[in-house]
A = this chain, B = another copy of it.
Amino acid sequence: MAVYTDVSEPQLSAFLEAYDLGTLLSYKGIAEGVENSNFLLRTTGGTFILTLYEKRVARGDLPFFVGLMLHLASRGLSCPLPVEARDRETLRDLAGRPAAVFTFLEGMWTRRPGVPECRDVGAALAGMHAAASDFSGTRPNALSVDAWRPLAESCGADADRVEPGLSAEIAAELDAIEAAWPQHLPTGVIHADLFPDNVFFLGGQLSGLIDFYFACNDILAYDLAICLCAWCFEADGAFNVTKGRAMIEAYRRVRPLSEVEIVALPILARGAAMRFLLTRLYDWLNVPDGSFVTKKDPKEYLRKSRFHRTVRSAADYGIEMDCP
Contact = CB atoms under 8 A, between A and B. Distances in A.
A203 B105 CA distance: 27
A238 B111 CA distance: 49
A311 interface: no
B110 A9 contact: yes
Contact of A26 (B24, B107, B290): B107
Interface in A199-223: 200-203
A1 B31 CA distance: 7
Contacts of A292: 1
Interface in A1-29: 1-3, 6, 8-9, 23-29
A322 interface: no
A257 interface: no
Contacts of A6: 111
Contacts of A200: 26
Nearest to A42: B106
A324 to B, nearest CB: 44
A25 B106 contact: yes
A8 B106 contact: no
Contacts of A8: 110-112
Nearest to A108: B9
B27 A3 contact: no
A203 B31 CA distance: 26
A3 B1 CA distance: 8
A30 interface: yes
A26 B108 contact: yes
Contacts of A30: 28-31, 40
Contacts of A107: 25-26
A146 interface: no
Interface string A276-319: 00000000000001101000000000000000000000000000
Given A1-B1, A1-B3, A40-B40, A27 B111 contact: no
Contacts of A42: 47, 106
Given A1-B1, A9-B111, A111-B9, A29 B32 contact: yes
Interface in A241-263: none
Contacts of A31: 1-3, 28-31
Interface string A168-194: 000000000000000000000000000
Interface string A86-108: 00000000000000000011111
Interface of A: 1-3, 6, 8-9, 23-32, 40, 42, 47, 104-108, 110-112, 200-203, 289-290, 292
Given A28-B31, A29-B30, A30-B30, 18 more contacts: A1-B1, A1-B2, A1-B3, A8-B110, A9-B111, A9-B201, A23-B203, A24-B108, A25-B107, A25-B202, A26-B107, A26-B108, A27-B108, A28-B30, A28-B40, A29-B31, A30-B31, A42-B47
